[in-house]
Structure 1
Amino acid sequence: MEKRYKNMARMTEHHQALLQQEIEYAYYRKNMTLEQSDWSDGMYCIYGVNQEIENPTFAAELKKVHPDDRSLLIDAYKNALSGHQFDIHYRIIKNDKELKVRNLATCVQESDGFCLYGCVIVEKVSAQNRVEKTAQAQQDAVTAVVENLSEPIIGINKKGAIKFFNRAAEKCFGYKRQQILNKNISLLMPDELAHHHNEFIARYLETGHTYVVNNERELTAVRKNGESFVMRLSVSVMPGIAQANEDEIAFVGLIQDLTHHKVAESLMHKTTRLDVLSHLSGGIAHDVNNILNIISGHLEILQMQKVDDSAVLKRVTAALKGVERGRQLSNRLSRLSRVDEQDAEPCNLSLLIKDNEDLLSEIFDKSIDLSVDLQSDLRWIEIDPNHFIDTLINLCINANDAMPDGGQLIIRACNQFLDADAVYATGLMPGEHVELTIKDSGIGITPEIQQRIFEPFYTTKGKDKGTGLGLSLAYNFIKDSRGHISVESEVGQGSCFTIYFPAIEEFSHPRNYNSTKVVDMDFEQSLRGKKILVVDDEQPILQLLSEFLKIYGLEVETANSGDQGLDLVKQEEFDLILSDLVMPGRLDGAQFAGEVLKSRPQSSIIFMSGYTDNRLSDNSELANIPIIHKPFRKKELLTQMQKMLH
């Protein structure tokens, strides 16, 4: 008997009593509205269903019932939808033998539909004993079902005294059963509700009407520790309430703690706002980078033409520095869009942080003590290292600003296993993670500001000290890296940002990045006579690149769309194709390149883009085509051309 029940999730005193009586017992929950079922291990055992193969469906259950008894079970379930309880006996076929079982259940109206809670008991006792034990078995079974529900259930008498408090209610409110029984239910309510609760009960007993009973409502409740939380409450009235005495339950409340739902809802709204901003910012960055590319290109041509005029060169150099500042701002804006998965690679945070520790130390005032604690055997993760360093720098700058009179900052990284409970409200998957914490001893953050700190453009700094993009950039990068960031802070006690990244099991060596080589004069001479096709929907960029490349003796053809470029490729052969990546029309840059490679697989192509949009992440055929990001300098373009042509 002990071996038979070893897989049961929880064993109550009622279960123990049933086992001693040699009764096989199992329980289930059926959502009649959604047609979903949850079975205990015992249900699979009683019906002889392999839980590794079959789902706990009504069809699987009905298939095991004796053909002559199937209509009895079907009718019982139909009646349950009308709110009726049932207690039926029927036969099942198991291992070619008949087995008599008893099925008793009650239907409860919940937030997601009508739910049937029931027990199945194998009848092994004599008919005489069955009659004698029916009442007690039914009471024990129903009590066991309610006791093991995941939702808090509370029963009170006509005076509001608590007479029933299941395990889920204990966990939700923080009270042990012996602490709360016979106390008034108003103990679990905020003052504004507690003062009126007895009036609600009295009104119902006198008139039979109240907006509390038989209505599902969201209310505020109070835990033992004084914490308030939002719950969804549904109250039902027990039959025969008029004759019920003080020891009997008159009202039953079914409760759903909405704390995690509210957190998830808040995260969903925040994510939606960021997604909208991502698309908007990506488009803006693309257009701005195209404009900057036109400006920088003409400045560089002017720089080449006025090489002997120091006054002109000085102004050109100053203008190019301005373009570079604009490019950096545009890049920050583009990072609000989704992270390009092609930039992610296996990284070790200990190595990354150590390599940049000198840079981090320069951020802080001398009055701030920086402490770095990195686990030596830290697991590897897959992220974009450049985005990570940007995120870390942003968090350190914020910490520095939070400690105007000095203090301590601790950066710590360690391995951390997160179980199902730990990741309930984060959206992470249970398993091995790397935990990074940035903790300061600064002024702290109020709860109101904590709710908004990851919103884009939200800042508490002066207009000359911040854009409000730092933390939203961090949030978006971490989210797109399948990680999670949270903050804990208390005014006057400092703040602690905690970041989780999922660990990876296996990885290839990080890609090697070739350093930019200076273009030599021999190469510039070798460009002469090469045939280049430039494809871009921006006419000023076509004119600029055509003029610039012709200076080096290149033959240049231009096309203002993917279709026009494809027509030229079919008619002529080109040594190299420069194509914008994001273009309107039937063929964007990626589609244009794909069509070119179909007809001319050996073609050399370079993408140009102010915003990649992740459109290459799922296209392995184009994965090795290099990208130069607008606005680019002539050295970047010529260096990449050198790699492709030689």
Structure 2
Amino acid sequence: MKQTTQESALLHAILEAAVDAMIVSDDAGIILQANPAACSLFQYDASEMIGQNVKMLMPKSLAKQHDGFMRHHIETGEKKIIGIGRDVEGQRKDKTVFPLHLSVGHSQVGDQRLFIGILHDLTRRRATQDALSRSQRLDAIGQMTGGIAHDFNNLLTVVIGNLELLQMRGVTDRQSPLVKEALESAEMGADLTSRLMIFARQSNLKPAKTDLRDLCGDTLTLLKRTLGATYHIRTDFAQQVDPVMVDPVQLQSALMNLALNARDAMDGRGELLVSIANVTIDDTYMAQETDIAPGDYVRLSVNDDGAGMSVEAQQRAFEPFFTTKSEHGGTGLGLAMVYGFVRQSGGHITLYSELNHGTSFRLYFPALPVVHEAGATKVPSGENNGLPRGKGQTILVVEDNPKVRRLSLERIRDLGYVTQEAISGDDAYALLKDGMQVDLVFSDLVMPGALNGYDLAAKVVAEFPDVKVLLTSGYASDVVTTAMSHERVYDILHKPYRQSDLAFRLQALFS
């Protein structure tokens, strides 16, 4: 009996300590045990899982096949997942579907057949693979484009050369305009291939040590006249910005491309915000959020309050010849050129957009090492060690993007808080009205439904005065959110943010 008690205690300790989710079920699929990692992964309490069929953790398509798989294995012994493991999909309590790796083993305890499932969340790995796939696709397109552009340049050299020789040797008055038009078209073709070479990162950049504030200030002075009086340009340049190595001409061209794209998206009038600041990416969460290697960067952000971009348009925005403005003469090369220039400069570019709310492009250039004070090198502004932690307070995370929501939940739990979640302002308000007890609502600003972040915050302040509110936005400033009606001014935590920013903001609210 003593040995059985010790074995039971050992099994319990293993289940409690395991990082991966572990679920024990019988041959009918009824859950007998679920460790804390499994409860966290699927967002259920253990009491909600034990006694239920494992099909509750599967999307419908897989759940329909589960009984057949089990029956086939028991009757034939054939292994499809058991003892092998494979990538499948799971379904959380909120019905969101996510990728996971499932390994199943089985054992006989007396007359009872038990199945032990070990599940590993693949969400981060899948996101990394998707980002790598997009990068590789653009690299492949760039290589192909560079080769084609090179061959076209050779062809156009022959065409232009022969047309110029023909022009020099004399043509009739009737032939002259034809030759002139042919030359102009060939030169336009040469300009097109030169822009393709920029996307392919095969152009000859002339980088120089540059202060982006000076360069962008000069460019924006020109742009104010180009954009017209109905467009307002705002700047937010940090007082201290590290120098970077960029080609000044290409940087000005990139900024003009982004500004003209913004003008077209704003359709007649609007506000453009250009901001520049040092950014240190030194924590796992921000690197994951931006898909950028840790290090010191100077970030140039271009934000508009225009029509925004669909998810498909965002995914393809940097591909050459993809355009949403074909009826207005767009070639689809502007953003491809910006992407190629930034990457060839050793930097990164990210895009955030919401339909009907605007778009934000962020260009990250590696900062040159700088000594800011006598003999002292720059120290990263945010350290992950010793961050203030919560005391078990409950935070309701309100975010419609499932990937961002999962990341936010993980970040907040890592800081010692308990989390709940909602997919919209409407959903969050309904949960609060139904009696959900929380200490703080952490909400995105732009969400589908009747309630945006400001609307939700106003209702929380009015109806649940003991609940604190923290708002977040993917836009670099209130250039977009000023269009939303709100009486009270809220401090916005702007994405992407560091774990230290979140930790100290939460500490300030709870102090």
TM-score when normalising by structure 2:
0.59
Query: Which position in structure 2 is the counterpart of 1:454?
Result: 318
Aligned to 1:280: 148
Unaligned runs of 5+ in 2: 372-511
Q: CA deviation at 1:356?
A: 0.8
2:102 paired with 1:234 = yes
In the alignment, the residues of structure 2 paired with residue 199 and residue 189 of structure 1 have an alpha-carbon distance, to the nearest angstrom, of 14
State how far apart, in whole Å, the 2-side matches of 1:410 and 1:224 are.
40
- Summarize the Cα distance change of 1:453–1:202 in structure 2 as closer, same or farther, 3 Å threshold: same
Q: How far has the Cα of 1:234 moved from its partner?
A: 2.6
Contact conserved, 1:230 with 1:259, CA < 8 A, in 2? no
Kept in 1: contact 2:145–2:197 (CA 8 A): no
1:440-519 to structure 2, matched below 5 A, reads 440-462=304-326, 465-505=329-369
3-state DSSP class of the match of 2:22? strand
Residue from 271, 288, 293 that aligns with 1:429:
293
Question: Is 1:163 matched up with 2:33?
Answer: yes
Contact 1:163 / 1:249 at 8 angstroms: preserved in 2? no
Alpha-carbon shift at residue 134 of structure 1 (Å): 8.4
The aligned counterpart of 2:265 is: 402
**Within 2, Cα distance between the matches of 1:498 and 1:223?**
33
CA deviations on 1:211-242 (whole Å, 9 max, x unpaired) are: 443444443334556544333x2321232267
TM-score by structure 1 length?
0.48
3-state SS, counterpart of residue 495 of structure 1: strand
Give the counterpart letter for 2:31 in structure 1: A
Percent of matched pairs sharing the same residue: 24
Between the aligned partners of 1:312 and 1:210, the Cα distance in structure 2 is 79
What does residue range 302-451 of structure 1 map to in structure 2 within 5 Å? 325=188, 327-340=190-203, 343-419=206-282, 420-424=284-288, 428-451=292-315
Return closer, same or farther for 1:227/1:472 CA change in 2, 3 Å cut-off: farther
Deviating 4+ runs (over 6 angstroms): 131-134, 310-323
Deviations 1:310-367 (A, max 9, x none): 9999999998877765553343233233255751222221111001112222342433
* Structure-1 residue corresponding to 2:82: 213
For the 8 Å contact 2:22–2:116, the answer to whether it is kept is no
Quote the residue 1:600 is aligned against: none
CA distance in 2, matches of 1:179, 1:275: 55
Q: Is the 8 A contact 2:99 2:121 kept in 1?
A: no
Q: Give the direction of change, closer, same or farther, for the CA distance of 1:198–1:215 in structure 2 (3 Å limit).
A: same
The within-5 A match list for 1:11-410 is 139=11, 142=14, 147-148=18-19, 152-158=20-26, 159-161=29-31, 163-165=33-35, 167=37, 173=41, 175=43, 182=50, 185-194=54-63, 196-197=65-66, 200-201=69-70, 204=73, 208-209=77-78, 211-223=80-92, 227-231=96-100, 233-240=101-108, 243-244=111-112, 250-257=116-123, 258-289=126-157, 291-292=159-160, 295=163, 325=188, 327-340=190-203, 343-410=206-273
Q: CA deviation at 1:418?
A: 0.9
Give the superposition deviation at 1:282.
2.9
Q: Tell which structure's C-alpha radius of gyration is larger.
A: 1
- Residue 132 of structure 1 and its aligned partner are, at CA, apart by 12
Cα RMSD (Å): 4.1
SS at match of 1:454: coil
C-alpha deviations, 1:5-42, integer Å up to 9, x for none? Answer: xxxxxxxxxxxxxxxxxxxxxxxxxxxxxxxxxxxxxx
Q: Read off the aligned partner of 1:460 and give its amino acid letter.
A: T
Q: Is the alpha carbon distance of 1:202 and 1:261 closer, same or farther for their aligned partners in structure 2, counting shifts above 3 Å?
A: same
Residue 466 (structure 1) shift: 1.1
Q: Secondary structure at the match of 2:263?
A: helix
Rounded Cα–Cα distance in structure 2 between residues aligned with 1:262 and 1:243: 46
Change in 2 beyond 3 A, CA 1:353/1:174: farther
Contact 1:203 1:210 in 2 (8 A): no
Q: Could you say what secondary structure the match of 2:301 adopts? A: strand
Counterpart of 1:500 in structure 2: which amino acid?
A: Y
1:378-410 residue CA offsets vs partner (Å, 9 max, x unmatched): 112222222222222111121111111422221
C-alpha distance after superposition, 1:257-290 (max 9, x if no partner):
3232223223222322222212222332354246
Name the CA distance, whole Å, in 2 between partners of 1:445 and 1:179: 43
User: Is contact 2:236-2:275 (8 Å) kept?
Assistant: yes
8 A Cα contact 1:160 1:198, kept in partner:
no
- Report the Cα distance in structure 2 between the residues aligned to 1:358 and 1:502, rounded to whole angstroms: 25
Secondary structure in structure 1 of the residue aligned to 2:349: strand
- Cα distance change on mapping 1:139 and 1:431 into 2, 3 Å: same
Give, in whole Å, the separation in 2 of the partners of 1:461 and 1:342.
29
Q: 1:505 Cα shift?
A: 0.7
Distance in structure 1 (CA, Å) of the matches to 2:178 and 2:115: 88
What secondary structure, in the 3-state scheme, does the structure 1 residue paired with 2:286 have?
coil
Aligned partner of residue 422 in structure 1, secondary structure: helix
- 1:438-471 CA distances to partner (integer Å, 9 max, x unpaired)? 2211111111222211111111222551111111
Say how many residue pairs are matched.
362
Separation in 1 of the partners of 2:182 and 2:130?
50
- Amino acid in structure 1 at the alignment position of 2:33: K
Q: Secondary structure at the match of 2:267?
A: coil
Q: 1:132 to 1:490 in 2, by over 3 A?
A: closer
Counterpart-to-counterpart distance in 2, 1:243 and 1:429 = 54
Letter of the 1:349 counterpart: L
Amino acid across the alignment from 1:191: K
Report the CA distance shift for 1:136/1:211 in structure 2 as closer, same or farther (over 3 A). closer
Residue 430 of structure 1 deviates from its aligned partner by 0.6
Alpha-carbon distance between aligned partners in 1 of 2:44 and 2:278, rounded to the nearest angstrom: 35
Asked if 1 retains the 8 angstrom alpha-carbon contact of 2:42 and 2:91, the reply is no
CA distance in 2, matches of 1:321, 1:496: 36
- 1:442–1:494: 8 Å Cα contact kept in structure 2? yes
CA distance in structure 1 between the partners assigned to 2:122 and 2:277 by the alignment: 36
Report the Cα distance in structure 2 between the residues aligned to 1:134 and 1:318, rounded to whole angstroms.
Answer: 91
| 1:496-645 to 2 correspondences below 5 Å | 496-505=360-369
Cα distance change, pair 322–502 in 1 and its aligned pair in 2 (3 A): same
Alpha-carbon distance between aligned partners in 1 of 2:270 and 2:15, rounded to the nearest angstrom: 57
Structure 1 residues 161, 137: CA separation in 2 closer, same or farther (over 3 Å shift)?
Answer: closer
